[in-house]
């Protein structure tokens, strides 16, 4: 189901509830200084009392890696199983964050319909996965940062409306504070927009109050593959990315490569995610990506026999894009 935007008050401090006119966008100033602040930010001392310090969250940083969707999906489900086991054993269940990019792929939600595919399933341009998240079809590919927070909502707020708005808030803060892009929500839709362009899609799944899947933010993404679908089932609205928005205002940011913009956006996402969810982020190293191959993988629904219909999944709680 699609959740409408609730009233203000679900998050403290800087939560944005104002929705400016779509034609309104602030013109960035001193943006290079802001980038320098993000890239060279030093941790500040906490003034919180010991009993109010944020909880910790392990972060697997793969933001410059292209990870096959099936591997990342299986990895998420394995982590969820571990966390559910901890809860069932009445043990502490900390949070996890995975950040990465994907090889080109289309994903569909639990009850997605094929009417939003502008191609024949027998001739799909990319693999298609039907997953257990909510929402309709979307595209993942290089230049898009995907955040998979695997959070124990018991440690935060057991409210799915609040969680969706919190994920949106992370992106809104990044776009505003780092790039001076006037981002906003749209009533009745989930995601983050700049004018009429959707920059971030959100789709989640919740099992025993463990949330997984997450958000995808278009940074330098090639937008062409979105033309072959109706993204998130939303007609008559565009999809955009940060790079093109900065180009529209003739912004000279100083970065020469897409990878630099990806790095800047990643650092800002981690910072704002930490603030919104009140978490201390610590990076957890991965000795080798080979470990992903040890996790049983689900093949794409469009591989092998393209003629078979995409299966539907009926379990747990889903929230749409």
pLDDT digits (tens, 9 = 90+) for 236-270: 889 999 999 998 776 555 556 899 999 999 999 99
C-alpha atoms less than 13 angstroms from C-alpha of 252 in its C-beta half-sphere: 0
Instruction: State the angle between helix axes of 160-179 and 31-39 in degrees (0 to 180), rounded to the nearest 10.
Output: 120
Number of domains in the chain: 1
- 155 φψ region: left (φ > 0), alpha (ψ -120 to 50), beta (else): alpha
In whole angstroms, how far apart are CA 144 and each of 37, 50, 254, 259?
22, 37, 20, 11
Check: CB of residue 220 under 8 Å from CB of residue 258: yes
Q: Which residue has the tokens 């996790």?
A: 295
21 domain residue, yes or no: no
Output phi, psi for 2, to 5 deg. Answer: -100, 130
53 domain residue, yes or no: no
Burial of 256 (0-12, 13-18, 19+ CB in 10 A): exposed
For residues 169 and 181, give the distance between their C-alpha atoms in angstroms, rounded to a whole number. Answer: 14
Q: Is it the case that residue 140 has pLDDT exceeding 80?
A: yes
pLDDT grade for 39, boundaries at 50, 70 and 90: very low
For residues 268 and 166, give the distance between their C-alpha atoms in angstroms, rounded to a whole number. Answer: 15
Q: Residues 274-286: what's their mean pLDDT?
A: 93
183 domain residue, yes or no: yes
Instruction: Output the CA torsion sign for 72, 75, 81, 85.
Output: negative
Token readout for 236 is 């008559």
Q: Is it the case that residue 220 has pLDDT exceeding 90?
A: yes
Is residue 232 among the annotated active site residues? Answer: yes
Q: Residues 165-179: what's their mean pLDDT?
A: 97
Token readout for 244 is 């093109």
Q: Is it the case that residue 133 has pLDDT exceeding 50?
A: yes
102 domain residue, yes or no: yes
Nearest to 175 by CA among 274, 277, 261: 261
pLDDT at site 250: 61
Q: Is it the case that residue 186 has pLDDT exceeding 60?
A: yes
Q: Which residue has the higher pLDDT, 238 or 304?
A: 238
Q: What is the pLDDT of residues 84-123, one digit of tens each?
A: 999 999 999 989 999 999 999 999 998 888 998 999 888 8
Q: Residues 23-28: what's their mean pLDDT?
A: 43
pLDDT grade for 293, boundaries at 50, 70 and 90: low
User: For residue 117, what is the DSSP state?
Assistant: B
**Domain span including residue 96:** 61-288
Q: Is it the case that residue 308 has pLDDT exceeding 60?
A: no
pLDDT at site 208: 93
Nearest to 144 by CA among 249, 211, 63: 63
Q: Residues 212-234: what's their mean pLDDT?
A: 95
Nearest to 176 by CA among 11, 26, 278: 26
169, containing H or E segment:
helix 160-179
193 domain residue, yes or no: yes
Q: Is it the case that residue 44 has pLDDT exceeding 70?
A: no
Q: What is the CATH number of the domain that holds 123?
A: 3.30.930.10
Q: Residues 307-318: what's their mean pLDDT?
A: 39
56 domain residue, yes or no: no
Q: Which residue has the higher pLDDT, 14 or 255?
A: 255
Token readout for 228 is 């072959």
78, containing H or E segment:
helix 69-88
246 domain residue, yes or no: yes
Selecting among 57, 59, 93, 232, the annotated active-site residue is 232
51 domain residue, yes or no: no
């Amino acid at each position: 189901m699609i959740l409408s935007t609730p009233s203000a008050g679900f998050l403290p401090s800087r939560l944005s509830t104002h929705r400016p006119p779509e034609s309104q966008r602030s013109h960035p100033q001193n943006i290079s200084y802001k980038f320098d602040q993000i890239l060279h930010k030093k941790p500040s001392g906490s003034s919180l009392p010991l009993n109010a310090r944020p909880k910790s969250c392990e972060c697997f940083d793969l933001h410059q890696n292209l990870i096959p969707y099936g591997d990342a999906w299986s990895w998420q489900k394995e982590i969820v199983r571990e966390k559910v086991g901890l809860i069932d054993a009445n043990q502490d269940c900390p949070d996890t964050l995975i950040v990465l990019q994907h090889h080109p792929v289309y994903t569909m939600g639990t009850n997605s319909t094929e009417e939003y595919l502008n191609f024949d399933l027998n001739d799909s341009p990319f693999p298609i996965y039907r997953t257990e998240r909510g929402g309709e079809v979307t595209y993942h590919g290089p230049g898009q940062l995907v955040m998979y927070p695997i959070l124990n909502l018991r440690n935060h707020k057991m409210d799915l409306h609040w969680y969706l708005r919190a994920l949106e808030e992370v992106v809104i803060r990044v776009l505003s504070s780092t790039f001076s892009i006037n981002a906003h929500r749209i009533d009745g839709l989930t995601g983050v927009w700049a004018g009429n362009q959707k920059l971030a899609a959100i789709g989640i799944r919740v099992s025993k109050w463990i949330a997984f899947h997450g958000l995808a933010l278009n940074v330098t993404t090639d937008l062409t593959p979105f033309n072959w679908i109706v993204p998130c089932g939303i007609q008559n609205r565009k999809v955009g990315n940060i790079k093109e928005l900065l180009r529209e205002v003739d912004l000279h940011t100083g970065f020469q490569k897409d990878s630099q913009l990806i790095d800047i956006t990643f650092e800002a996402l981690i910072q704002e995610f930490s603030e919104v969810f009140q978490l201390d982020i610590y990076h957890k190293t991965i000795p080798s990506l080979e470990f992903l191959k040890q996790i049983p993988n689900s093949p794409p629904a469009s591989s092998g026999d393209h003629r078979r219909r995409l299966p539907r999944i009926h379990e747990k709680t889903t929230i749409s894009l």
